Amino acid sequence: MPLVDDGSRDFWRGGADGRLLIRACAACHRLFHPPGPVCPHCYSRSVTSRAVSGRATVASYTVTHRGWVPGYEPPYVVARVVLAEQPDLHLLTNVVGCDPEAVHTGMEVEVIFEQRTDVFVPLFQPVA
């Protein structure tokens, strides 16, 4: 289970409303991830959360054939995706909803949320 604190609560709970909430800096207006209390670009502490589109592109991925993570049946896809809003906004996630062999670099995906107890884990599926 992810650690939910003040900085990351929006990220893990936004899925309850179907929203992917990413930390946004009020000083330099950039988005950043993973969530935290300080902007990694300008070190401002004036950070809030902003709902993004949930659209992303697969930047890299690996197909995992062993069950490393409880609750995931192998094979599954661990992917680094780039959110549509900002080219350096990466998320490490899983691509679901398709054959793992069909995943490729540059694939367009969109967020879905998987509830696990009280957190909503953002996963990505191919854009229909």
Residues making contact with Zn ion (CB under 5 A): 25, 27-28, 39, 41-42, 44
Q: Which is nearer to Zn ion, 28 or 98 (CB)?
A: 28
Q: Rounded to the nearest whole angstrom, what is the least distance from the CB of residue 39 to Zn ion in the complex?
A: 3
Whole-angstrom Cα distance, residue 22 to residue 7? 10
Q: Assess contact for 100 and 73: CB atoms under 8 A.
A: no
Q: Rounded to the nearest whole angstrom, what is the least distance from the CB of residue 13 to Zn ion in the complex?
A: 23
Whole-angstrom Cα distance, residue 63 to residue 29? 35
Q: Rounded to the nearest whole angstrom, what is the least distance from the CB of residue 35 to Zn ion in the complex?
A: 13
Q: Which is nearer to Zn ion, 25 or 119 (CB)?
A: 25
Whole-angstrom Cα distance, residue 102 to residue 29? 36
Q: Which is nearer to Zn ion, 44 or 53 (CB)?
A: 44
Q: How many CB atoms lie within 10 A of CB 33?
A: 18
Task: Tell me which residue of 1, 55, 45 sits closest to 23, measured CA to CA.
Answer: 45
Amino acid symbol at 12: W
Q: Rounded to the nearest whole angstrom, what is the least distance from the CB of residue 21 to Zn ion in the complex?
A: 17
Q: Which is nearer to Zn ion, 39 or 119 (CB)?
A: 39
Residue with tokens 């899925």: 15
